[in-house]
Amino acid sequence: MFKWLHPYAKTQAAYSLSQRLTPWFAGICVLLLVPGTLWGLLFTPADYQQGDSFRIIYIHVPAAMLSMSTYVAMAVAALVGIVWQWRTAFMAMIAMAPVGAVMTFIALFTGAAWGKPMWGAWWVWDARLTSELILLFLYCGVIALYSAFDDKQQAGKAAGIMALVGVVNIPVIHFSVQWWNTLHQGATITKFDKPSIATEMLWPLLMNIAGMMMFIAALTCMRLNNEILRREQHRPWVSALLHDRRENQNAV
């Protein structure tokens, strides 16, 4: 079933694929994020309860949702790396970790900035906020563990196990607002019912979620490429590639 994936276990194939995909991700990201953000911040109507303060949703919700999705993607990469012993999978894992950590930080930060005017508090130790903070610590743990080893294959395995263990936190974050009573409100769009947000407010939000997804994909590809080049710098194909680039630069 996944036979078509096998060639990409080779770093060279993975490099050329992500090199080719990067401009697409980046382009679509700009096409979605710029109009989505402008639309959301300037042209959607204000909320009936929260007025203009609700507009922070257009940054907060994409960042929060994708901090969790990125974690799952990272854990899948870790699983592939551990079970099939793909070095490229570990490189993809560590390429995603700081991106996801930054998304988590943005979600926590914008959440605090939203909480102060609306709830009246920057921070409350409720289940949703606390589990999202734990997610940030998990990302930091994966990054720290990976950089603690000199042998990057060992580092990948150790950090990969940590990433896999942390997956337990993801359903806890998502269902925290249902399982326990919290100050944080319930899910608006990630539920089976109709989204409880007016249509003209929903569209820019969906655009920003998709745009942020593309942003994360583009950053991941760029970081993956750097990681591949750094780890494979003594391979002939990398020297050939760098040699070509230098030639091109000299020609210009």
Partner 1 sequence: MNPRRKQRLIVILSIGGLLSAAVGLMLFALNDNIDLFYTPSEIIEGKQGKTPQVGQRLRIGGLVVPGSVTRDPDSLQVTFSLIDTGPKVSISYQGILPDLFREGQGIVATGVLTSPNHIQAHEVLAKHDEEYMPPELAEKMKGIKHQKPASLDDAL
Could you tell me which residues come within 8 angstroms of residue 56 by beta carbon, excluding any fewer than 6 positions away? Answer: 110, 113, 114
Query: CB 109 → partner 1: shortest distance, Å?
Result: 19
Q: Which is nearer to partner 1, 112 or 197 (CB)?
A: 197
Among 118, 140, 222, 241, binds partner 1 (CB under 8 A): 118
Q: In this complex, which beta carbon is closest to partner 1, that of residue 13 or of residue 46?
A: 46
Q: Which of 14, 57, 142, 213 binds partner 1 (CB under 8 A)?
A: 57
Q: How far is the CB of 13 from partner 1 (least distance, A)?
A: 20
Q: Which of 41, 102, 112, 165 binds partner 1 (CB under 8 A)?
A: 165
Transcribe 134-174 into DSSP letters.
Answer: HHHHHHHHHHHHHHH-SSHHHHHHHHHHHHHHHTTHHHHHH
Q: Please report how many Cα atoms fall inside a 13 Å half-sphere around the Cα of residue 252, on the Cβ side.
A: 5
> What span, in angstroms and rounded, lies between the C-alpha atoms of 44 and 182?
28
DSSP assignment letter at 117: H
Of positions 15, 25, 39, 54, contacts partner 1 by CB under 8 A: 54
Considering the rule CB under 8 A, would residue 41 count as an interface residue with partner 1?
A: no
Q: Is 126 in the site for partner 1 (CB under 8 A)?
A: yes
CA 230/CA 238 separation, integer angstroms: 9
Give contact residues for partner 1 (rule: CB under 8 A). 45-51, 54, 57, 79, 82-84, 117-121, 124-127, 164-165, 167-168, 172, 179-183, 185-188, 196-198, 200-201
